[in-house]
Amino acid sequence: MRPAPLLLPPNQFDHFYRGGDRIGALRGGPGGPQRPEEWVGSATTRFGETEQGLSRLPDGSFLRERVLADPVAWLGQDHVRRYGGDNVEILVKLLDPGQRLPVHVHPQRAFAREHLGLAHGKTEAWVVVEADPGAVVGLGFRRAVSPEEVAGLVSAHDSAALVDLCVTRSVRAGDGVLVPSGTPHFIGEGVLIVEVQEPTDLSILLEWDGFAVDGDRDGHLGLGFDLALRALDLTPWTSADLERHLVPAESLVDAAGRAVSPLAAALPADAEPYFRAHHVDATGSPDGDAGCVDVPAGLAVLLVLDGAGRVDTTDGGGLAVERGDAVLVPWCAGDWTLTASAAGSVRGVLCRPPAPDAPEAPR
């Protein structure tokens, strides 16, 4: 393998909810009306599938196959020593819901290990790229709810009651939200999101009216709802709890609207055991000096959201990038720099696995 940064082809596919046109406009993919997700730099398959979800490299090979063949080259020796070499420890997606997602929950690691034989649950996070006025997300139930009450609402297909239970907040471009596994949640329509998550596809649906899915049959990971609903963390949430799981967009800019850092954390510190996401902003100076962002070696997925520039690595050459590009940088390419075109800017979201010295994730 030549240790070079790569441009990933689009990887949209059909799903049970509507959307996808914003992804298509950004990435040059097929768009909607029923392709609301793109899995980017993915070595993870959809639940129950053997290939769908996997990212192909420009030569047509699967990223997962290349990582398994040479994990140190892709992930780095420290990463392999800490996490093993059979998984990239991260899944990056673009989400573009054309309708509110159903209230659902992702299991924690302990549940996934005991009942599904998997090492990972599905803690996830959202970095908002675009948001229509009034767009909202919901996180956690706002009052104490018994398991029996939740089971009754699920059985009755009471979507309105389940949505009403959730603590909601409006979101805007730049907001970052951490969603701990076990937490009931939904994403409203009218947003484009970079989702960063553990490398699984584990969703338990609590409601599904108006969606192209049979939740009674397919909404419980094959476990049955009696068992699947035990994955819920029913600890009540308040608006203050939601705020503690959020990095607001306004914290990323100064009074003049300039980025406070060329590499700014997009998520709360509690995300660090699971994954990392940063806003990158390389803006040139008025006198023509090019802006740049330096990134240490390690597997990285960069989604370029605006502008144009270059990615240059110490050991693997470089390439020109522009809005809509998804750039995959392997560890063996070395340290790298994102540089804006002269007097211009290039911005994006940088997604990486947890650092080799990150705190241990709860098990």
pLDDT for 144 equals 98
* pLDDT-flagged residues of the chain (< 70): 1-3, 285-289
Burial of 100 (0-12, 13-18, 19+ CB in 10 A): buried
CA distance 42 to 213: 24
CA distance 304 to 344: 14
78-87 LR contacts (CB < 8 Å, sep 24+): 78/356, 79/298, 79/299, 79/331, 79/353, 79/356, 81/356, 82/356, 82/357, 83/353, 83/354, 83/356, 87/43, 87/119, 87/120, 87/199
pLDDT for 191 equals 98
CA distance 200 to 152: 28
CA distance 218 to 328: 33
253: left (phi over 0), alpha (psi -120 to 50) or beta: beta
Q: Which helix (H) or strand (E) holds 164?
A: helix 159-165
Q: Which residues pair with 321 in a beta bridge?
A: 309
CA distance 105 to 83: 25
Q: Token pair for residue 81?
A: 């020593």
Cα angle: 251, vertex 129, 359; to 5 degrees:
60
Torsion, CA 301, CA 304, CA 336, CA 57, rounded to 10: 50
8-state DSSP, 270: G
Q: Token pair for residue 282?
A: 């390389």
Burial of 118 (0-12, 13-18, 19+ CB in 10 A): middle
CA distance 36 to 96: 5
Total Cβ atoms within 10 A of residue 342:
12
